[in-house]
A and B are shown apart, each in its own frame.
Chain A
Amino acid sequence: MKKAAALLLTLIALGGALGAQQQGAEALVDECAAYLAAFFQGRPDARVAVVALDDRAGLGDSGLQKLYQMLVARLEANRTIHFADLLVAVADGRAEFNLDRARELDFLVELRLVRSLDKVGLGLTVFSRLQDRVVALKYLERAIPAAERDLLQARSFAFAAMGFAKLLEFEAREGLMDIQSLPAADGTMQYYLYYPDEIVIYQAREAGLEKRFQFKLTWSRPYYPTRHPEGRLLLFRSGADLVLTAGGNFAPYSLVLTFRDGVWQEAGRVDFVPFRFVTLNGIPCLVGARWEEGRNFLKERIFFQPYGPTQPAGEGLMQKPVCAAMALDIAAADGQLQAVHAIDREYSYRMYGADLAESTPLPGKKGGALAALGGKWLALSDYRRSTDRLFFCDIRDGGLRPVYEAAVAGEVRFLAAGAWHDAPGFWAGVRQRDEDGGRLLVQFWGKANE
């Protein structure tokens, strides 16, 4: 008890210190927000966005992003203006914005942070699109002490207990396409690693995985050899059966296997690749998509197939249009379809609601791979080689709010929602290149406090 009290006191003290340390940055942001509020006072319903943000004060990318987020919080709370958050990413001291929507705006705000002796200066320019000229200029400055700078520069994901952190990393054989997990009969978590020709099952150990067994997948013609194998594995329970479906871009069908008498037995096939098992209007359904045979993108259809012990195989297949996608996932919570998230062939993020009507938040947001964790989180990789990034976005309210960001050495090939021990999170297949050709790393990014 004494110990707990001491810890609490330390936290309170630290919290107080942190609060004090952030005063400089907050004050600068407050002043900026106040100036903008006053400027837009006489211009109700003005559509405003920050379209440029440069750091010449040495705050670092994290510091720049935090300052921006503080400003956004204040501007979004301002009811007289319509503020649009167009931030896509911050890199190399410069923020990147989605400017596809710039035409819909009335005022564009440019911000520049500069160093002024021991202070940080903020240069602010407001450009009116209608008048095609700069309509306001303002310079503000505040002292931001070194300790506060350190705090600004500490990335959110540095706090593993709060954000997503890399909890596990191991090297895998080339060709790995997906990972899914399911508790075994004894309660231990089993991890299914899906390759085009086999599934290898591992069991969690304290700080790693231990191989349990593997089984071959037998495909038949037509078979489409591919340079870039992609596929999805789905594990679920249907009645008393444990069911596994596996498909990919190399076959026009997916295998459906059930676990009986200690072995996986083929129980049928479906003509698409199931991503989720959900209930629609009280009917259990496999929901999925179909890859273009032999290629690396998915066709512009979502398929729904009623599935159950009494359901005749192949009957009742329905399809709905979506965009052709480089990556796609279906968010479901409590067995109910929430949304379809996709990265289209132009690498733009797209979202479809439960009714499959498009309602893309953050239009212009780019991505490479993605995966949805229930209806809560969406992990999205950047679309760059060598120095990829992961964005963890909150999708609980049907939007897309980037919350955490992590740098990844290599390129993210696939993302899959899962769990490591008790921590929910995402599996990431990361390809690293080197002189010998490279290697495939599997990382688990988890959120321990959920």
Chain B
Amino acid sequence: MSRNARRLLAALTLPALALAGAIKPHYGGEIVVRLNEPSSFRLNTASYSNLILYSLIYENFFFLAPDGQISSNIFQEYRYDAAARTLLLTPRENLSFSNGKPLTAKNIQVSLKVFLSSDLFAASRLSKVVKNVRLNGEQVAVELLADRPDIVSLLTAPELVVLAEDEQSFSGLFYPQEWEKNQHLILRANPYYAGGRPYLDRVRVTFGDSPAPDLFLAAPGQFKESCLELDSGIYQNLYLCFLQPDIGQNTKIALFSLLKRFNEASGGRYRELSSLTSDDESPVAIRIKTLSPQKTAAILKTSEIRLYALSSLSFLEKDLTAFLKATNLTIETQFIDNSEFMAFLDSAAIKYVLVDRLFQRKAPPEEKLSRILKESSFNRFNAQYLRMLSELDEARFSNSPELLTEQIARISEAIVNDGFLFPLFQRNYSLYIRRSWPTLETDYYGRPLLQRVSQAHD
């Protein structure tokens, strides 16, 4: 190529480079996100994957930024009236669900009541302070039992979302358009999204590696060449839970030992967990001595064990089933949908369950412990635990770190001594996005904020 031709070529590229400074963002395009396949579109935030998926189709009342800033797309105004001890929420005018049906104050009221009646720790914290939720014209009035100027911070839970009356309407950025089981899920941009339509037209949620995902979750410290790694601060703890009081201690330890061995057999894929929350923040280390393989086999060979696991742990299914089969023990595994688990508890004599809980590293340890006690003790929750929870609350407000640490240690000890919850493993997650995409932001809960993601660099 001659010098002039090269110059000409360089000059021809100038307009294209200049376009990088174009003032309007580009609308259109698709992002491919790899997540676990959901069992339904009913809200279920038990796993990190679900937390992300449902954040795309359900809109939160409020968003919490990593720096603690609170914002809302739904409300044009929210005001706490200290004299009346009431939080007044005014939804924006003319809001609609994804199918065009009106999103009104009534939907906000119902959604808040559904949340309050749920069995979540965040819901029970809120229900302790809420006296009533009523409609006040186009406003929703949340009456409180006591003066709580920080009430809005209690409404930032990721599970508090706007629900529609029918299951085909969604309040989030996207709505499901097509679901090919075991393959992919296509989400389309919600044209009525309260925060303004996203730039992307579609999200393709894949459940495998094809097509190559643009956004995905994986263990930290990988894909340095091709992706940007976002530390989500999210980790998932796995526990072995014994729901019936008549299980012998030997059987518990043997099953625990077997599962620990499962991790060893899979190459130590999961981090060992020796506390209820996280080993680096817990004042108490839980050491449960495991049994030898022979002793484990001797104890378990006469038992017929059915091990239940929540569907949010479905990533274990293949390997765990194969491992148990190889042991020649009569242990069956059964995965249950998280949303159906509570109903299952009442109808069947479930003894052994693998459960998981998702935590944000930044959340205080006492809050995590309260969640474990409230959400994972199931039918073993009793007056003793209720008292311990109240004492933990007292300790939190005492401004005494020593007292708080002591109480956390007491609760951890009580849970393990009662023998219904043994910590097993921890999974840490990073969120990866391909470098060809503009920088992605996440919220406090590590959820990607796709609303601001545009395919073209603008």
Contact = CB atoms under 8 A, between A and B. Distances in A.
B191 A347 contact: no
Nearest to A348: B15
A84 to B, nearest CB: 15
A346 B456 CA distance: 12
Contacts of A224: 191-192, 197
Contact of A293 (B12, B22, B102, B191): B191
Interface in A280-337: 292-297, 326
B90 to A, nearest CB: 14
Nearest to A219: B94
B19 interface: yes
A384 B18 contact: yes
B192 A223 contact: yes
Contacts of A295: 27, 197
Contacts of B14: 96, 99
A261 interface: no
A88 B102 CA distance: 49
Contact of B19 (A96, A221, A383, A411): A383
Nearest to B192: A224
Interface in A198-221: 219-221
Given A97-B11, A225-B95, A364-B15, A383 B21 contact: yes
Interface residues of B, number: 33
A436 interface: no
Given A99-B12, A223-B94, A384-B21, A297 B197 contact: no
A236 interface: no
A138 interface: no
Contacts of B102: 221
Interface in A80-130: 88, 96-100, 102, 108, 110, 125, 127
Contacts of B19: 346-347, 366, 383
B269 to A, nearest CB: 41
B25 interface: yes
B100 A296 contact: no
Nearest to A366: B15
Interface in A201-258: 219-228
B84 interface: no
A368 interface: yes
Contacts, number: 105
Interface in A35-77: 51-52
Contacts of A110: 4, 7
Given A52-B7, A295-B27, A385-B23, A226 B196 contact: yes
Interface string B82-111: 000000000011111000101000000000
Nearest to A249: B197
Contacts of B347: none
Given A133-B2, A383-B21, A99 B11 contact: yes
Given A96-B14, A132-B2, A222-B96, A108 B8 contact: yes
B66 interface: no
B194 interface: yes
Contacts of B24: 228, 296-297, 326, 368
Choose among A226, A227, A347 the residue with the greatest number of B CB atoms under 10 Å from its CB. A227
A134 interface: yes
A224 to B, nearest CB: 6
Contact of A384 (B23, B192, B193): B23
A169 interface: no
A132 B196 CA distance: 53
Given A222-B100, A227-B197, A383 B23 contact: yes
B194 to A, nearest CB: 6
A388 interface: yes
Nearest to B11: A99
Contact of A225 (B15, B18, B23, B194): B194
A383 B22 contact: yes
Choose among B23, B92, B96 the residue with the greatest number of A CB atoms under 10 Å from its CB. B23
A88 B21 CA distance: 16
A294 B12 contact: no
Given A52-B7, A108-B8, A127-B4, A225 B92 contact: yes
B195 interface: yes
Contacts of B92: 225
B5 interface: yes
Nearest to A224: B191
A132 B6 CA distance: 12
A276 B327 CA distance: 80
A228 B197 CA distance: 10
Nearest to B195: A225
Interface in B168-198: 191-197
B11 A51 contact: yes
A381 B22 CA distance: 11
Contacts of B15: 88, 96, 98-99, 364, 366
Interface string B53-95: 0000000000000000000010000000000000000001111
Contacts of A293: 191, 197
B367 to A, nearest CB: 32
B22 A226 contact: no
Nearest to B194: A225
B242 to A, nearest CB: 50
A102 B7 CA distance: 12
Contacts of B5: 132
B96 A134 contact: no
A297 B26 CA distance: 9
Interface in A128-178: 132-134
A132 B2 CA distance: 8
Contacts of A98: 15
Nearest to A226: B196
A226 B195 CA distance: 7
Contact of B192 (A132, A225, A296, A413): A225
Given A127-B4, A220-B94, A221-B100, A347 B22 contact: yes
Given A108-B4, A225-B95, A292-B27, 13 more contacts: A100-B12, A127-B4, A221-B96, A222-B96, A223-B93, A294-B191, A295-B27, A346-B19, A368-B22, A368-B23, A383-B21, A383-B22, A413-B23
24 contacts: A52-B7, A52-B11, A88-B15, A98-B15, A100-B12, A108-B4, A108-B8, A110-B4, A132-B2, A219-B93, A220-B94, A221-B102, A223-B94, A223-B95, A224-B191, A225-B73, A227-B196, A228-B25, A294-B197, A296-B25, A297-B24, A366-B15, A383-B21, A412-B23
Interface of A: 51-52, 88, 96-100, 102, 108, 110, 125, 127, 132-134, 219-228, 292-297, 326, 346-347, 364, 366, 368, 381, 383-385, 388, 411-413
Complex A-B, nearest 9 residue pairs according to Cβ-Cβ distance, in ascending order = A227-B196, A223-B94, A294-B197, A384-B21, A295-B27, A226-B196, A99-B12, A127-B4, A368-B23
